[in-house]
Every structure is written in structure tokens, then in C-alpha cells.
Structure 1
Amino acid sequence: MTRPSLRRTFGLWLALSLAALIPLAAAMIYVLVLTPALDSLDRSLTDTAVALSQIVEDHGGQISLPISEQTAKALSADLIDQTVFAVADPAGHVLGGSAELAAQAPATLAAGQWLFFDGSMQGRPMRVAAFGYRCAQDGRVCPVLVAETMGKRTAALRAAVLAAAVGALALALPLALLALLAVNRVLRPLQRASDAIGRLSVRQLRPIDAGSMPGEVAGFVQSLNALLARLRDAAGAQRAFVADAAHQLRTPWAIVRVEASELLASEHPAALQPALERLHLAAERGSRLAQQLLSLARTEGAALEARPMPQRVDLRRLAADSANQWLAPALQAGQDLGFDLEPAAVDGYPVLLDELIGNLIHNAIEHAGRGAKVTVRTRTLEERGAELSVEDDGPGVPADERESLWRRFHRGRGAAGSGSGLGLAIVADIARLHGATAAIETTAAGSGFTVRIRFSTPDRPAPPESAVAP
């Protein structure tokens, strides 16, 4: 089903309007050009008729037309048309000229009256001008007629048609172009609003600028902004609930974890050892889950709300600072945690980037298995950017599962450890917030697991070491 289009609707109505107006304009041009031309040709006939009337003489009631052959030829001379004249006395007898033309004289013609009509001679159409001349002292009228063929009038008709066509075309083309420009101009704010709406996402619900919108569109945009505000409030309330719940859970989980550790360290019956280990593991997992929920709420809040300007952050220093936090867990898991760090400056938020690095290292320690080697790397890319990667030589993940690992609460088939499935989802959210790309790689044999984060950095000189935030 074809969706209705404002552009097509505007275009159709404009096309219909032009289809009605352009022929009307052409007809007006035709009339305005042809009428003066024909009037001018008619007036040229009147000049000949007046000249003939001045030759008519009245000698005691005897009306005559003393005209020489040369004068008759001069009055009939024309380069284009054939001109014929006729003068009759009040009784209708021909005094001079064509008898066929004199027979076409109006039956009643008053003194000083002009009549113009179409006639014919020898089967040829003619334009006739008839003039009533008071030729006798008693007031009688002599009809004076001058006719010419239609050559000049046909040419004037062609010129009028050509002028109407050219005028209509010259009017139609600019009007059509202006109509298209007007449609595009009218729809441009709607297109801008559509593009702005298209860029919205669950994590990006910022209001759309209605300042440059026309009044008809501004109301729609303002209503949409009000809806987005309600959605942000709802998302904020949900986020606050998750953060508050996670924050409230941190303390009891911490107490349970400490108590379980103390019970494991103190003397206790051997039969309780498995239960205490499970209790300690559950406390560790619950504490980690609460921390990850807090991180998730913090990341979503940064994506949805106005944020301060990002700082210049050195990933190398952030990764190095995380060594003290993760070396002990790595040793406890029987793994070799190493760092291959080069300077790598990005624009971002230190707290969130530290959380990203921590989640990547924790994910590797949790799933790589005992005896694995985990390496954290940072480097500056040649194509103007920076890269952070955490790799291990553990069992890896099947290719068909890699993309699903970015989803929340999803763990791979047969995943080791007791993770919650939130770590890589938080990494993806933080990377997206920084305009970075996150990818999972494995070796050709399917073993090993590498998460690579690539940041794009603005083209500017690196700041001095003191200006880079840890």
C-alpha cells in the first residue's frame, strides 16, 4: 500500500492549478496581442476609405468620383494583400471600383458610420470596411467600401498564437520551478524534524529544537518534546529505582560476603565447607551484580541526560591504575594478567571508561579459566584514534554466539564462572556513549577471546601529560 505523500499532494494540486491557469494566461495573451493588431489593420482600411470619400464630388445633385487610373492604383497598392475599393451613389449605382464589392454594402449606413465585416470576392475571404459619407447637399449618404485579402491578418493570427504559446511556456516553466522550490522549502522543516526523530533512540531522548520550525510544525514538535520529556521522566524513575535498589543491596551483600569469608577462615566443621564456599560465591556474585546494576543505571543516565563536556583521558593510565584492583583476583583464579600499554588519549568520561576496563578484565578472569593468560593493551591508531583491547587465550566463544553476548543477562553456552551476563552489555553501552565501536574476535581455530574497543578522536595535538585526566 502506497503511503500518502505531502510532496505528491502539493505537487498534484500545484499541477492542477497550473493546468487551469496556464491556458487562461495563454488565451489572455492571445487576445491582448491579436486585438490591437486587427484594430490597426482595420484602421489602415479607414485611411483608404477617407481618402476615397474626399474625391467624391456633388455637381447639382449629380454625384461623381473623378479618379484617375494612377490614383486608383495608388489606393490599391499593397505589398502583401490585394486591396479593392468601391464607391456608390445614394441610389446604389457604382461610381468607381468593384461592383462585386459595392453589392456587399450594408443596406442602411448612416452618415459618418463605420462598419467592419468579413466578406468575400471571387471566393476569397476579404476584410471589408464600410463608411457612410454625406456626399449630397441634401444629406444623402454614399457608401464607401475598402476590402483587402486576409494575408496580414493571418500573419497577425500566427504571431498571436506564437506569442501566446511562448508566453505561456515562459510563465509555466518558472512557475513550475518556483512551485517545486516552494514545496521543498515548505517540507524542509518537516524533513529536519523527521531526521531528528530518526536519530532518537531509547538511549537518546533529547528534545528536538523547535526554534527554527514554522508555526504549523512547531506545535507538533512541541507536543513530541512533551512526550519525550514524559518518556525521559519514566526512564529516569526506572533508572533511579534500579540504582536505589542496587545501592541498598550493596550493604547487605557486602556483610554476607565478609561474614562468609570470616566463617571460611575460622574453624568450622568439615561438613560445612561446601555450604560456606557456595555462600561466599553467592555473596561475591550478588555484590558484583549490584555493582553492575549501579554501573548500568549510571551509563543509561549519562546517555539520556545532559552531560558535562568530556575530558581528555589517557587510557594507558586508566588501565595501569586498574592493575592493583585486578591482579589479586587474577592470581586467585590462577591466571597471568599482563599489560601492554602505549599512550592512547581519548575524549570521554573517566569514571565510565574505568568501569568499561574493569568489566572487560573481570569478564576475561571470570571465563578464561585457570592457567589462562589475560593481556590488556592500549595503543594509538594511525588513522587518528585509539584502541583498547583485552584478550585471553581461553576456550573462546562460537562464532554464532558472539553478537548475542552484547545483550543484557545473556551468557554463552557452557560459559565458565558465575557471571550475570551484564558485563559486555555495560561495555557496549559505554562504548556507544563515547562514539566507539566494540567488536569480539577469536582465533581461526575458535579459541581465545578478544574484545576490541576503537575510539575516534578529534584531529588535534595531544595535550601535555598534566592535562590528561586519569
Structure 2
Amino acid sequence: MRSIRHRLLLSLFVVWATIWIAVAAVSLDRSEHEVGELMDAQLAQTAHVLLQLTREGSLPDAASQPQALTPIGHPYESMISFQLWRQGKLISTFGAAPPEPLAHAPGFSDHRIADTHWRVFGLPTGRTDEIVFVGQSYAIRHELIQYLTVHALRPILWSMPLAVLLIWLAVTDGLRPLGRLTSQVSHRSAEQLDPIDPSRSPIEIRPLTLALNGLMKRLDRALAAERHFAADASHELRTPFTIIRAHAQIARRSKRAQERDQALDLLTQGIDRASHLISQLLVLSRLHHSVGDGGAESCSLAAVAGEAIEDKSVMADTRGVTLAAKCPPDDPVLVELPPAPLAVLVANLLDNAIKFTPPGGQVRVSIKARREHAFLSVEDSGPGISAKDRARVFDRFYRAAGQTAPGAGLGLSIVRRICDIYGLDIELLGAETGATGLLVEVRFRRLA
């Protein structure tokens, strides 16, 4: 792709050449018109002078030698001729007029005789069958038109190198702010993400400057989130791996089989917790770099939720929790969301609900379809979340005081991230049944 400089230079040169050609065409047309008017007037004037001479009998007889050009005359004299015809007989002639009549009627006319193109004016003398023809070769007119046009356009032709130089300098100066902006951006380090001053940029590239500032602001937030995420992840991973190491050392030093088996069981549990934590961290990291487009894909909320409920049924049975579902009959409930993030969202909500529901409790999943929206509700009979903690439970690694259930504090953070990416609304409410429990409701854009 050509650079902006080359495109501007080419465009300006094309425009300048087009204007020059248009000026040349207009000049040529006006020169032809003015020269034609002037020469026609000259022919008519010459014819009237000759008519006066004819009446005074001053014209030479054609029977004598034709009139010759004088040495002190002009070469154009040979291109201007006249004839006097009387009763079909050539009475007098001058110049390069041929022996046949220059024209056959009075007034202006064009005729080609032999290889010469003539402009002729015929003027009757008033006598019977007598007429004066004054002819002029078109070569005179063409030469004069060419001379006038070239001399009119010569200053433009001479100015062409200067115009090219001035256009190049103007384009170079006009693009200099882009060069300064490029230099400012290229000389920045990865940590230097402060905004560029838009007031020093021309109006035309100010939107680009503002867009770059917005991009650097987003990059700064993303890098800050990455640093924060890395610090939190390293801190959270240090604890489970320290516990795993401790249990491994106990199992290695233990001489009693019962003590060794207990240490190995605790080691296995620690590995499971660390694996779950790493899995959640990877999911959160992938979501952190995702860009949502709710209109790009769609899926069935009922189908994805049904699969997630089936996957979590073993976990619920193991903990003695009843898992119930309620979906609209014969309605897939299509929503504007890809199936993969929707499955992660439902799975984390179910994980969180089952984990905090005591044995004998119940987790209810319900899907409601409205005109333009669909609602997914996950309600548990656990201890619930206090009003002051509901805003903070979406923070990474946050765990409310007094919680004893295992976990890393990432489940609701992942759910919030998916909601932010795809423009979903999520709300934490008190359970509709019982004095305790939590109701999580997510609102989706529904497809007809």
C-alpha cells in the first residue's frame, strides 16, 4: 500500500494536470474564436476596400501578368488572395488564388481547393454578375492560434517544476505532525503509558491522538490488572503448595502406617484443591483477555444449563444435596452468548451453591423466558451472604469472614467477568424460600 505522502502527491499532481489541461482547452477554444472573429472581420473589410477600388476602375486586368509579391512584403501575403469575377470570367486576381472561383456565393464560406483550405468572403459589386472574393488560407489562422495558445500557457509550463517543488514541500509540512506523533509513540517504553497531549495535535489527527490515549489507558488498566492478578495468584498458590509440601514431608518421615496414610490423604486433598485453584486461575486468565460480542453466537440456555446440572449431580449426591431444575417446556430459550462461556458461568454458580449448601439442603435451578430477556436463577439453602459482603464477593480471592467451605474465592469472580464481557446483568438476593440461602439471578438477551 502506498504511503499517505505518495497518495497526496499523486492526487495533487493529477488535480494540477487536470486543471492545466482544462485551462489549455479553454485557451485553445477562446483563441480559435477570437482569431476567427478577427480574421473574418479583416476579410470583410478587405472585400469592401476592393469593392471601392472596383468602382473606381483601379483593379488590374487578369489578362495581364498576375500581381507579384514585393520583396519587402510579408510571407503571409501569399496566403491572402482575392478575385474579381464578372459574368463568369476572372477579371482580376492577386496572391495565391487559384484560377477557379474561390467560392460560388456571397458571404462567408469554407472551401478546399487543391491542397489548400480557404476561408472565403464574397461581396457583390452591384453590377450584373460581378462579385469580389477575398480568400484566406486556414494555415494563417492555425499558426496564429497555436502561437497565442502556446504563449498563454508558457508561464504555466515554466512554473511546473516550481509547482511540483511547492506541492512536495506543502505535503511534507502537512504530514510533519504525523511524524512527530509517530516519534512520540515509538520512543515510549512499555511502562510509559501516560496520555499524549491532544492540544498540540492538528484537528485532523486529534481523533487519532484521542484513540491512542484511550488505547494506552486500557493497556495501563490491563497491565495493572495483570500485575495484580499475578501477585494474587502467586500468593494464593503459595499456601496450598506449602501445605502439600508439609504433608509430603510428614508422610515421608512417618513410621506408622496410619499416620502415613492420613498424611497421604491430606496430601491428595491438597493436590485436588491446588488443581482446582489452578484450573480456576486459568479460566479467569483466559476470560481476562476475552472480548465479548454478544451478537456473534447464540446457544440454548436450557440445553447448556441441563448439561451443567447433569455434570454436577454427582457432586451434589456426594454432599447429600438435592439438585432440582425447572425449565420452560418445549422452549430452548436461545440467548446471545457462545456456549463455552455460558457453560463456565452455570458450572461456577452450581459449584458455589452446592459447596455452601449443608447436607440435606437443596439447590434449585430455574429458567424463565420473557419477551426480550431470559433469566437464570440458582437458589441454595446455605448460610447466604450478608448485604455488606454481596458487593465484595465478586472480587478475586475474597472470602467472607467465618467461611469454612473449601475454595479459592474465584467462582463468583469468573461469573462476574463473563457477565462484564457479554453485557449480562447479575444480582445477588436473599433466598425466596427459608430464612437463609442465596439467590443468584442472571439476565440474558433473548433471541426469538
Q: TM-score, normalised by structure 1?
A: 0.43
TM-score calculated relative to the size of structure 2: 0.45
